[in-house]
Amino acid sequence: MALKIKKKKKERSNSLNIFLNKNVKLVKYGFFIAVVVLLLLFLVQPKYVQVKQTQSTMFQDQSSELAGFKEYIQSLEELQTVMVNYQKTYGQNIAKLSELLPTEPQVPNLMAQLEALVQASGFSVTSLNFTESSALNAKAAPAENGTAQATEGSVLALPELDPSVHDLRIAMVIGGGDYFNFKTLLANLEKHLRIIDVSAIAFSGASEETSINLTLNTYYYRPDNL
């Protein structure tokens, strides 16, 4: 009985050897495939997982950077809008300031503006003279002989100004209007864009043909170093 078992084992061993000898290439391929699979499982797969995780992290970082860049661009656009609006407003304010306090006397323009303003108020201009003065606090000169002075307080003291602000004195004689026209004229002078101060008022002539002598002061800005 034992001999039969040994004989069967030997036959099986021989059959296995014969199979291996016949299929040695197949066995080699199978072994190679098994090794490759093991390498993939224990070496390549962890690296692949690590690479995927790195790519995911990089993608998230790039997405965050892109979002930050878009936010930065939006902030720049908003800042540009603010700057454009500021420059527009600043330019308008500078233009108004230039008319309010110009850097030159601009006598021809001022003469035309005053004549138009006087005519719009119901008067006509009889005389109009301009004199540059450095004495900003000087009072109006005495009226000529035969000229009736206005009531007390018609000569107004001018405030002290910065040395860079120069005074342009205007002696203007007007006629043809009445009391209400005169109130309109004073209101129009007050509303004039360029600063105009009434420093003296005097009346002359008969009641029906009264002339009004006005001493006005306007200003322009010219720094001493210019």
- Convert the pLDDT of each residue in 91-145 to its tens digit: 666 666 667 778 888 899 999 999 999 999 999 999 999 998 654 444 444 444 4
More confident call, 146 vs 205: 205
> Sign (positive/negative) of CA torsion 142, 144, 146, 151?
negative
**Whole-number Å distance between alpha carbons of 209 and 176:** 7
Q: Given a cut of 70, is residue 7 above it in pLDDT?
A: no
Question: What is the pLDDT confidence band of residue 50, given thresholds at 50, 70 and 90?
Answer: confident
Strand 165-175 and strand 211-221: pairing? antiparallel
Percentage of the chain exceeding pLDDT 90? 23
In sequence order, the 6+-apart residues with CB closer than 8 A to the CB of 149 are 143, 202, 203
Phi/psi for 106 (5° steps) reads 55, 50
Q: Which fold has domain 107-138+150-221?
A: Alpha-Beta Plaits (3.30.70)
Percentage of the chain exceeding pLDDT 70? 64
Q: Which residues pair with 65 in a beta bridge?
A: none
**Whole-number Å distance between alpha carbons of 198 and 177:** 18
Res 152: pLDDT: 38
DSSP 80: H
Which pTM value belongs to this model? 0.49
On the CB side of 148, CA atoms within 13 Å amount to: 10
**What are the boundaries of each domain within the chain?**
24-100, 107-138+150-221
Question: What is the pLDDT confidence band of residue 24, given thresholds at 50, 70 and 90?
Answer: low
Res 78: pLDDT: 82
More confident call, 185 vs 221: 185
